[in-house]
Chain A
Amino acid sequence: MTPSVPTPLTARTPPLTEPSAWHEIALTVNGRAVTAQVESRLLLSDFLRDRLGLTGTHVGCEHGVCGACTALVDDEPVRTCLTLAVQCAGTEIRTVEGLTTDDAPLTSVQRAFHECHGMQCGFCTPGFLMTTTALTERPDRPDEAQVADALSGHLCRCTGYRNIRRAVCQALDERFGK
């Protein structure tokens, strides 16, 4: 067994590979101001998870199909695996960690997923929570087709979706009345 090279000591952050491709960005994440140096190719999902330690945003496919990585960028649900961190300079980002604070009660959306058993392993859940939160923040209640459309952007392999639909319905009922 050859320990191919002696383990070098490299500063983990930032792993500078192309000095020309670094950008300083300033943005807001869950209400807190953040400034950071990011390389052009850094995905927003990796920025949130690895640089900011906000691991609630999950990565399931890295090609924009599963929806697990969804966060709200300026109130719109966005696939953070298809977004570069540098594109988000000046934006306001909300992740699942920002829905409620540690000791505060769950939001009505979170509670609905709990009460309707709209989750099993919980891996897809943050994505669904963020999309559902955006639905509840619209000025008017989204119609059935709009809800179906929003949910079809997310994969859940555990629940069979029925309880997720019930949860979304409950959250919308709470927000807009039945």
Chain B
Amino acid sequence: MSHDSDPHRHGGGLIGRSVPRVEDDRLLRGQGRYVDDIALPGGVEAAFLRSPHAHARIESVDVRAALAAPGVVAVWTGEDVADLPAMLNKEELRTPPGLAELLDPVVRMTPMPLLAREKVLYVGQPVAVVFAENRYLAEDALELVEVGYAPLPVLVDPETSLSPEAPLLHEHLPDNTAVAVAARVGDPDAAFAGAHAVVSERFDAHRYVASPIETRAISAQVDPYSGRLTVWAGTQTPHRLRDAIAHTLGLAPASVHVIAADVGGGFGQKGILYVEELLVPHAARRLGRPVLWREDRNENLTASSHAREQIHHIELAADAEGHILAVRDRITVNFGAYNMTGLVVPYNSLCHLLGPYRVPHVDIDVTGVLTNTTFATPYRGAGRPETVFAMERAMDRLAVELGIAPEELRARNLVGPDEMPYATGLVDRSGSPQSYDSGDFPELLRRAVAKADVEAIRARQREGARDGRHVGVGFAMYIEATGLGPFETARIDLAPDGRVRLAIGAPSQGQGHRTSMAQIAADALGVPLGIIEVTGGDTEATPFGVGTIASRALVNAGNATHRAGRLVREKIIEAAARRLGVTADRLDLSDGVVAAKEPGGPSIGLAELAGRAPLPGVPEPTDGRHGTEISETVHFRPPGFAVASGAHAAVVEVDEHTGEVEILHYVVVHDAGNIVNPMIAEGQVTGGIAQGIGGALYEEMVYGPDGQPRTGTYMDYLVPTSSEIPDLDMDEIFTPSPMNDLGVKGLGEGGAIAPQAVLAGAVEDALRPFGVVVRRGPLSPSRVRELIRTADRP
């Protein structure tokens, strides 16, 4: 494929075209197959009893009354599953060897019991599970389970959790630190000592949640025919789930079949392992009946993973012209009650803090802290929105300090396109020297500033507020290392009917893989899109796979598909050459027909080629063996990260009386390298930004000091509706990644990374007459009013 600067104009191929999604028709007819839609005859439903305490010792559990309740099949407590190993998200907790060697991070394991036995550590932790004929009866019986709790002191605030007097959440650890890692570049202390200006601030990223509209769900059945365990799961990582189930239940991985059929949004929340996903398959085996569990919304908000909560004590040192000399940041990440994903979020925050800026001296450390709140794990952006919030806010403060326009300050510090690949001096998540492969950050900013029409806004600001409504503009930039390894798999088969089957390891939760992967395969093979069938996230279709997380599916599964397609294309041409009695170099495959390059030569269609073989799908005997199937499996291993980037600008109007923030204009300019399907790409960016706007203005998972969640329903946890999300003003540039054949970069998370920072900047700019500094979100009306009330007026 070509690496033209504008893939929308890519030749005759399908890559670069807004091909309408092939997955839509079924979903539009109500024929989706989400986990809860799959009826398993004779199935029972599970309901979990969850801790009402944030921290308590379990003194007694009595399930007798529940067991006697109508329709109840079984009730389990921690004792009933004590023979199973506690849960660890093994893959996520592994520290890459390179990183371990260079930075010697602390990563402490906190295995989570499948059902709590001695202690509960957060409100929502599973304590018992009821299996009954249906959900109504299971929930009735939950109320009959008697648990005696002895409450323990509760830790909600991570900084308090770190104090030497704090009680320990996990007695086997010396303190409540789960993770600690630090990185230094150059001589930051000297740079700070010699700086013209230093800003020093605390910025807090607040806690919010992924909140997919389909809650988590899992069902499992022992196949009476094969004796194998079949699991339908709302998961982003089916292969890891398969391995975890096999490990926990003492089975061979090959005897567990995980299918992530339709998944109703994931955003990271469905990318990790949960105890419910181990207990339900276990129950299917123990009870000898299919078992289904579907979470309700209250469970999803309080007991499925949370994200984002971080405290940054950040300092910037600069010279008189605003060139950054050094950055120092002390980051505290609230992990909640268990260390689920180790370095993923803290290290993402660390190695994305510098963003697109040139920073010679760096001093960052991150501590992940355990508290009596629901565990926190990656959510769309995974540590990047938090760190971009801190860095971009600090840039805005530095701009004020130096009297330089915020967009100009940014421009002075950007790494230029001529400096690519650019080494930051840090190491990336895999432990290699961190390098930005490609990008044009100044162009991103230039376009964003032009679209936002900063001059017009400054003019309006000079006129003064109208009716107490103040306008402001903000900017934020980010980079994102995408296409995380270690690999992804694609298998392509030519079926006997001449159709092409493509199986990839990465499932889709709405990203449209069936369409974009088919586009890649069709181009690589030279066949029409319509003959390609795509399966994703089925552990039988591809025994190896990682998953759809970390903006990695298109890069890894896409390039695996591309390579497999090229290899299968060669095989098809060779088979056709044998059949037609010509040499392969005289043949070409396009539009599903292998034909001689010269006019009037022989040709053969795929159906004929595959179907008339001596065995189905087997073209001809070769090399004395009886044929080779026309099939290839490719494991694509990215050599490094493909760095995507973007610049956002937002214009807001803030009502000083009501505290309402209205977005007048939202600009996004992004770069994700070559684009396979522009329509799908735009949808991904738009959806990410909507989640970011939600986090910036409305969404917050609130805990009381007693560790009780106060936002356990959609009545008080505010997910934005259509009325709150404006149309976006979008633009894009394309700097193809040299890290892969397709030149693509990941795109799923980018949109969600900058909105908190850009809206905070815009609101602060609008409220400049009051001298407001935005140090945390969300910028709800009450918080905006509080900012105005408590500001030090200039």
Contact = CB atoms under 8 A, between A and B. Distances in A.
A68 B688 CA distance: 20
A60 B23 CA distance: 21
B690 interface: yes
Contacts of B509: 121
A57 B34 CA distance: 11
Nearest to A120: B510
B29 A99 contact: yes
Contact of B81 (A1, A15, A55): A1
Nearest to B512: A120
Contacts of A5: 67, 72-74
Ranked nearest first, the 8 interchain pairs of A and B with the lowest CB-CB distance are A56-B30, A123-B264, A121-B510, A122-B27, A120-B510, A160-B690, A96-B30, A65-B714
Interface of B: 20-21, 23-25, 27-32, 34, 36-37, 39, 42, 63, 67, 70-76, 80-81, 83, 133-134, 136-137, 140, 210-215, 262-265, 267, 286-289, 296-297, 509-512, 679-680, 682-683, 686-691, 713-715, 719, 721-723, 725, 727-728, 751
B24 to A, nearest CB: 4
Contact of B213 (A10, A12, A50, A66): A66
Contacts, number: 213
B265 A158 contact: yes
B213 A123 contact: yes
A163 B686 contact: yes
State the majority secondary structure of interface residues on B: loop
A157 B690 CA distance: 8
Given A121-B262, A124-B213, A160-B728, 5 more contacts: A15-B136, A49-B36, A152-B722, A155-B714, A162-B686
Nearest to B689: A160
Contact of B21 (A12, A99, A114, A158): A114
A117 B287 CA distance: 43
B683 A4 contact: no
A29 interface: no
Interface of A: 1-5, 7-8, 10, 12, 15, 17, 41-42, 49-50, 53-63, 65-66, 68, 95-97, 99-100, 102, 106, 110, 113-115, 117, 119-126, 129, 148, 151-165
A117 B680 CA distance: 8
Contact of B687 (A65, A122, A153, A159): A159
A106 B27 CA distance: 11
A4 B714 contact: no
Contacts of A65: 713-715
A62 B75 CA distance: 25
A159 to B, nearest CB: 5
Contacts of A15: 70-71, 133-134, 136-137
Nearest to A3: B286
Candidate in A5, A162, A165 with the most chain B CB atoms within 10 angstroms: A162
A123 B32 contact: yes
A156 B213 contact: yes
Contact of B722 (A8, A10, A165): A165
Candidate in B39, B213, B714 with the most chain A CB atoms within 10 angstroms: B213
Candidate in B63, B211, B751 with the most chain A CB atoms within 10 angstroms: B211
Contacts of A152: 721-723
